[in-house]
């Protein structure tokens, strides 16, 4: 096989992988802090993407610009969801909260079906077809932009968690809930904030994905497994893991499509997920047990 095709596939995979990292970082943050597996992650992303779609259609807002609206809006939605629903059960049995988020994802998905119907939607903006040249290789401009913004946001998020006061409180709660409470941290508020941030990352990811992907009420399913695979591969609660995992998953998807064809190529992700859970459930960087 021609090496340019291989390199192109690799780089394209990495570009998309960067966005997967952003999606997964929200999921891993939620798990790391609240210890809940947010099954609604995919459908929340799907809702975000519909949001971006309509912001473009109705208000003619460029998707990258609408991040300024989407991120705070999704943060607020996440915060409210936690306070109103998730928070009541986050201390219960592990499976209960999983079922609650499952219920949430069912509701969101079918609400989308009711209001937006089942068709897939894509958006086109002025630069949708613009290509970036890198030697003999061509890359879609939106993909490149999305990748760099995704990486930037991940870095910013990482910095925020590391340096800011709230970030430190979040890390404290993630590490030792009881201790954090004893030191006076309002743990419940941190939970709400963390869930909010987790959903906010989806708002950003939605803006980055719409120019290069499509949305339909069913896209939630697609992204749920991808996000979980990244998180499980990288290690639940590990930020570095989300970065590495995202890139690996992006590469796998790209090479899978290249070598196995469009249909069978998708199998790489499920396969990674299964193999990791069976043989190294803590992932690459996660804590054992």
Min separation Cβ 89 and another protein, Å: 7
Least CB distance to another protein at residue 274 (A):
5
Neighbours of 268 (CB within 10 A): 20
Dihedral of CA atoms 137, 141, 143, 145 in degrees, nearest 10, equals 120
Measured CA distances, 139 to 40, 210, 250 (Å): 32, 16, 15
Q: Which two tokens stand for residue 240?
A: 């570095």
Per-residue HEC secondary structure of 112-136 comes to: HHHHHCCCCECCCCCCCCCEEEECC
Closest Cα partner for 62 from 125, 121, 155? 125
- CA–CA separation, 76 and 200 (whole Å): 8
We find the least distance from the C-beta atom of residue 146 to another protein, in angstroms, to be 25
Tokens of 126: 């002025």
Q: How far is the CB of 261 from another protein (least distance, A)?
A: 7
- Rounded least distance, CB 236 to another protein, Å: 10
For the bound state, the minimum distance from the C-beta of residue 116 to another protein, rounded and expressed in Å, comes to: 9
Q: Positive or negative CA dihedral for 286, 39, 95, 249?
A: negative
The footprint of another protein (CB under 8 A) covers 37, 85, 88-89, 94-96, 98-100, 102-107, 109-114, 117-118, 217, 221, 225, 228, 260-261, 263-264, 266-267, 270-271, 273-274, 277-279, 281
**Rounded Cα gap, residues 59 and 285, in angstroms:** 43
């Amino acid at each position: 096989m021609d090496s340019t095709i291989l390199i192109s596939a690799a780089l394209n995979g990495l570009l998309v992988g960067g966005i997967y990292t952003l999606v997964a970082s929200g999921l891993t943050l939620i798990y790391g802090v609240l210890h809940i597996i947010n099954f609604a992650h995919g459908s929340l992303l799907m809702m975000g993407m519909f949001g971006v779609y309509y912001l473009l259609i109705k208000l003619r807002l460029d998707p990258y610009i609408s991040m300024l609206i989407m991120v705070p809006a999704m943060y607020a939605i996440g915060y409210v969801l936690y306070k109103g629903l998730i928070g009541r059960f986050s201390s219960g049995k592990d499976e209960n909260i999983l079922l609650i988020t499952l219920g949430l994802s069912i509701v969101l998905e079918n609400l989308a079906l009711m209001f937006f119907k089942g068709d897939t939607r894509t958006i086109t903006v002025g630069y949708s077809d613009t290509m970036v040249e890198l030697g003999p290789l061509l890359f879609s401009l939106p993909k490149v932009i999305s990748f760099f913004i995704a990486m930037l946001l991940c870095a910013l998020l990482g910095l925020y968690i590391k340096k800011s006061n709230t970030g430190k409180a979040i890390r404290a709660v993630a590490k030792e809930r009881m201790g954090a409470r004893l030191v006076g941290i309002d743990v419940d508020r941190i939970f709400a904030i963390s869930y909010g941030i987790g959903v906010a990352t989806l708002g950003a990811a939605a803006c980055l994905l719409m120019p290069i992907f499509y949305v339909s009420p069913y896209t939630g399913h697609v992204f749920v497994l991808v996000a979980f695979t990244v998180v499980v591969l990288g290690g639940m609660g590990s930020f570095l893991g989300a970065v590495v995992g995202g890139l690996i998953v992006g590469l796998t998807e790209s090479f899978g499509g290249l070598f196995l064809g469009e249909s069978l190529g998708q199998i790489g992700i499920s396969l990674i997920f299964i193999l990791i859970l069976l043989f190294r459930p803590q992932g690459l960087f996660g804590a054992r047990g």
